[in-house]
Amino acid sequence: MTPGTATVREPAPVVLVGAHGHGRWHLANLRRLSALGTARLVGVCDRVPVAREDLTGLGDPAQCEDLAVLLDNTGAAAVILATPIHTHLPLARTALRHGAHVLLEKPPTATLAEYRSLCEAVAGSGLACQVGFQNLGSTAVDAARDLALSGAIGAVRGIGGAGAWVRTSAYYERAPWAGRRRMDGADVVDGALTNPFAHAVATALRLAGAGRGAAADGVELELFRAHAIESDDTSCLRLRAPDGTPVSVAVTLCATRRHEPHVSLHGESGRITVHYTRDEVTLERGGGAPETVAHPRIDLLENLLAHIGDGTPLLVPPEETAGFMTVLEAVRTAPDPLPIPEHAQQVFTAEDGLHRVVTGIDDLVERSARGTALFSELGAPWASPRRADAAGTAGATR
């Protein structure tokens, strides 16, 4: 190379599969990367065509419902799969067979067996697959773990995650697979723990050092639903990290209002909390004022394209999600979620449907995270030990 010159890398040609719903976030991200000269959208694969005005700043990508045809015609280097969970494995295989690297939205697959098949397909292809746990692209998670390992809060006694959001009935009416455990004979597993709050589970596992492997002592589950759906909308889990530390995550989509989800490491002399949507780590110890530090986040598509271009290590290859898939499999094989009685709910009319609130759930989720406790252990009347046993508390993977 002549001194003073540098290699100019052409924008990577990318195909987006699934351009509506969460796919709109990917369109916006591709617009940003296109302006930076990093990526170029060459194709969109969706049953519903994307309006031209929604492709402003993205050139004139081809649109086709057949991914194989689209890949043959565009020669895309990478494919983004933002499609329903049960379609991930076949679409990923198609992309890999056609020589394209893959950014696969979370969860990677709907079953543990499919996950293993995905790992085999990726390994056999010699291509890269990045799983879209964007929270694991945040340096905040590892910063919190490093802080705990430094002894900042003494010995870690427990790790607790909490998530409380609002999803009205319209959320479950947006697509045929929404809120389903199975559809047309295929597993879907679209529950609160496995989809909207999958990031909370993955964050807790990473903090516990259990991201790459199964939980050491099984998974305890309590799965409930307030909405008339198949899957869970109000749930909690508990497992043991490889070193025996209890790890819990409690979530609901039936809160009074949206709360910022978080995962905390509870130590002998303080607490470290990760607000993973804000990339912030808060340290509390010794009765002093909390210290909050914001950390940078690396975009997973940028990381994948850098990996393709110069071998930069992938942040979330499939093997990083092995622990999460252990949890998903426990949810998948657990008994169906139990309904929360109507008398334990309040129902409000919202602009986009019915807003169901489980009485006291906002506080219950927080108490669970603080004590790494299950709902049934905290006295929730609809989660009595007898009912909770029916919902899988005994440990779905034991």
- Phi and psi, residue 281, nearest 5°: -120, 125
Provide the total of helices (H) and of strands (E) in the chain, helices listed first. Answer: 11, 19
Least confident of 4-8, 82-86, 131-135, 161-165: 4-8
Residue pair 104/130 in contact (Cβ under 8 Å)? The answer is yes
CATH number of the structural domain 12-134: 3.40.50.720
248-301 residue pLDDT tens: 999 999 999 999 999 999 999 999 999 999 999 999 998 889 999 999 999 999
Report the SS3 class of residue 350.
Answer: strand
| Same fold yes or no, 12-134 and 138-297+317-390 | no
Counting Cα atoms < 13 Å in the Cβ hemisphere of 286 gives 7
Residue 391 has pLDDT above 90, yes or no: no
299-324 residue pLDDT tens: 999 999 999 999 999 999 999 999 99
Q: What is the mean pLDDT of the chain?
A: 93
Topology at the third CATH level for domain 138-297+317-390: Dihydrodipicolinate Reductase; domain 2 (3.30.360)
Residue pair 107/318 in contact (Cβ under 8 Å)? The answer is no
Query: What percentage of the chain reaches a pLDDT higher than 70?
Result: 93
pLDDT band at residue 211 under the 50/70/90 scheme: confident
- Position 351 scores a pLDDT of 92
Domain positions in the chain are 12-134, 138-297+317-390
- Phi and psi, residue 278, nearest 5°: -105, -5
Residue 1 has pLDDT above 50, yes or no: no
213-247 residue pLDDT tens: 755 458 999 999 999 999 999 999 999 998 999 99
Counting Cα atoms < 13 Å in the Cβ hemisphere of 215 gives 27
Q: Which residue has the tokens 């990339």?
A: 279
